[in-house]
Amino acid sequence: MRGLSGKIALITGGLGDLGYATAQRLNEEGCKIILADVQPDSMGKASLINAYFIQVDISKEAEVKKACDEIAVRIGNVQILVNTAAYFVFKGVEATEEDWAKINAVNIGGTSLITKYIVPQMRSIGGGSIINFSSVSGFVGQANFATYNATKFAIRGLTKCWAQDLAPDKIRVNTLCPGYVYTSAFIHSCEKLGLDIEEENKRASAMHLLNRQGTVAEVAAAAAFLASDDASFITGSDLLVDGGYLAK
């Protein structure tokens, strides 16, 4: 029942580790891929999976509209939207107005804007699947993470509201919530903070019942499931890919 072959999939944050891994998996299952990212594709990652690349700042409505119009004309109507794009600010009560404006503009506003302009495409072809990336941080409180966690809680709320709004159009909306995932961002963060990568990996791993961090391939597999016909009776749900993080 997989039903992914030939479908057009748009992945925001498509050059990031999770976004690109998801694109790779969907490409392997026969999807036509569009990678969207605020950064230029200087490494030529799109060409490696025969994907179309579009540079767009999803926090800017005019850019989003232009990008979505371009996609419809050049590629076709999007059937699968995977919202992985995110801006990272890790602060508590000391967060400034600028901090809140930046993270909300991308994580909440940007996710909403790209969805706003892709939904009409999905309606025109009789349905689709939207996967919003949240996190275990969208379920719990974490010290000095108020800015980030607030947006991840919000993503889960958007999913549940949109699932109700879009069900009549046969558009499913779900949230994918990873635990800690071993990515280049994790490594760069350790290096930036002067932390030992191996020790930090052990610390992060111990937070999960399976005693390890997840892999990007595992998260991508879950995204492909939600995008597929195998998940045809799933909408408004949170899929945890967290190695038992929230069960501890």
Q: Report, as residue numbers or ranges, the catalytic residues.
A: 148
Other beta carbons within 10 angstroms of residue 168's beta carbon come to 8
Tokens 């995110």 correspond to 86
Burial of 52 per CB tally in 10 Å (0-12, 13-18, 19+):
middle
Positive or negative CA dihedral for 106, 108, 113, 118? positive
In sequence order, what are the residues at sequence separation of 6 or more whose Cβ sits closer than 8 angstroms to the Cβ of residue 192?
none
Give the strand order in the sheet containing 52-55.
52-55, 32-37, 8-12, 80-83, 128-133, 171-178, 238-241
Alpha-helical (H) ranges within 42-145 are 45-48, 61-74, 97-104, 111-124
Q: Locate the DSSP E strands across the chain.
A: 8-12, 32-37, 52-55, 80-83, 128-133, 171-178, 238-241
